[in-house]
Amino acid sequence: MSERKPRILVIDDEPQILRFLRTSLTANGYEVIEAGTVADGRALINKEQPDVIVLDLGLPDGDGKDVLRHVRAQGETPVLILSARDREAEKVEALDLGADDYVNKPFGIEELTARLRAALRHRLRQQGEQPIFKSGDLSVDIPRRIVKRGEELIHLTPKEFDLLRFFVKHAGKVLTQRQILQEVWGPAHTSDAEYLRVYIGQLRRKLHATRENPIIETEQGVGYRLK
């Protein structure tokens, strides 16, 4: 992928939005292909094998989530959702179905491109899994269960470590409450938000999180993300 431009498929039915995305994303070094319907989107995914997909959920001939299911049935191509701020339920549903991230409309291009880069990076990292995760001065050695900030060794309980490991595995990706609870506490606890609140609070405290660098970011009403 370092040789050629990343190929991005934008699926949206608003010509104005397509127009500015085409201009901006091309200027930002992407090869842009476009679809305005669920049917065209699916056809282009099969034919063009995009590296990343930007998907609006409200499409004229059906539900954008159908595209998402189609993508996930085939593989792990990163998908970024365009949605309205007050549609939390819709976003959570899309993330639960395997979308990587979302951007609220209206959005600035700097935000969109930052999210796109993160999604692509995340996918690369997953392919060649590193045993030691590093972000800023935080390092997590998964096999040896060692967590450090700078030189300071941080002691975590087994549950806290499980939680952090899940975040590390999906660094950069928005994880929904349901996904985290299911993975760390098991399928019987998918709606026990209280576990998550308490453990996230503890984990942040132990990792010396601050408002400027919360380490694990709160995605309001949706879930969490490790930077």
Partner 1 sequence: MDDWNDVLTLSVFLVIGVITGLLAGRVRDQANAAQARADALQTLFDFSRRLSASATPDALLHAIVLQAFRLSKLNAIALLPHAGDIEIRYAWPPEDTLDAANMAAARWAMQHGEPAGHATATLPSATWHFRPIRTAKKTVGVLGLRQSQSDPLLRRDMLQTMDSILDQSAVAIERLTLGEEAARVEAMAATDRLRTALMSSVSHDLRTPLTTIMGSASTLRQDQAKLPEGAKDELLLAIVDETKRLDQYVTNLLNMSRLEAGELKPRREWLDPAEVLESAAGRVAARASHVAIDTRIGPTIPLLRADFMLLETVLVNLLDNALKHGEGAEHVSASVKTHNDMIVFEVVDDGVGIPPDFLDRLFDRFFRVQRSDSQPAGSGLGLSICKGFVEAMGGRIEVKSPVTQGKGAAFVVSFPMEAQPATELAEAQAQ
Binding site for partner 1 (CB under 8 A): 85-86, 88, 106, 108, 157, 159, 191-195, 197-202, 211-212, 214, 218, 220-221
CB closer to partner 1 out of 2 and 191: 191
Least Å distance, CB 106 to partner 1, is 5
Least Å distance, CB 1 to partner 1, is 31
CB closer to partner 1 out of 27 and 193: 193
CB closer to partner 1 out of 117 and 189: 189
Question: Rounded to 5 degrees, what are φ and ψ at 203?
Answer: -60, -45
Q: Are 102 and 55 contacting, i.e. CB atoms less than 8 angstroms apart?
A: no
Distance CA 218, CA 194 (A): 15
Among residues 130, 133, 223, which one has the least CA distance to residue 182? 223
Least Å distance, CB 221 to partner 1, is 4
10 Å CB burial of residue 155 (0-12, 13-18, 19+) is exposed
Least Å distance, CB 66 to partner 1, is 26
CB closer to partner 1 out of 49 and 218: 218
Distance CA 195, CA 189 (A): 9
Would you tell me how many other CB atoms lie within 10 Å of the CB of residue 80? 21
Among residues 155, 162, 151, 173, which one has the least CA distance to residue 219? 173
CB closer to partner 1 out of 126 and 202: 202
Distance CA 121, CA 135 (A): 13
Least Å distance, CB 99 to partner 1, is 19
CB closer to partner 1 out of 39 and 216: 216
Least Å distance, CB 77 to partner 1, is 29
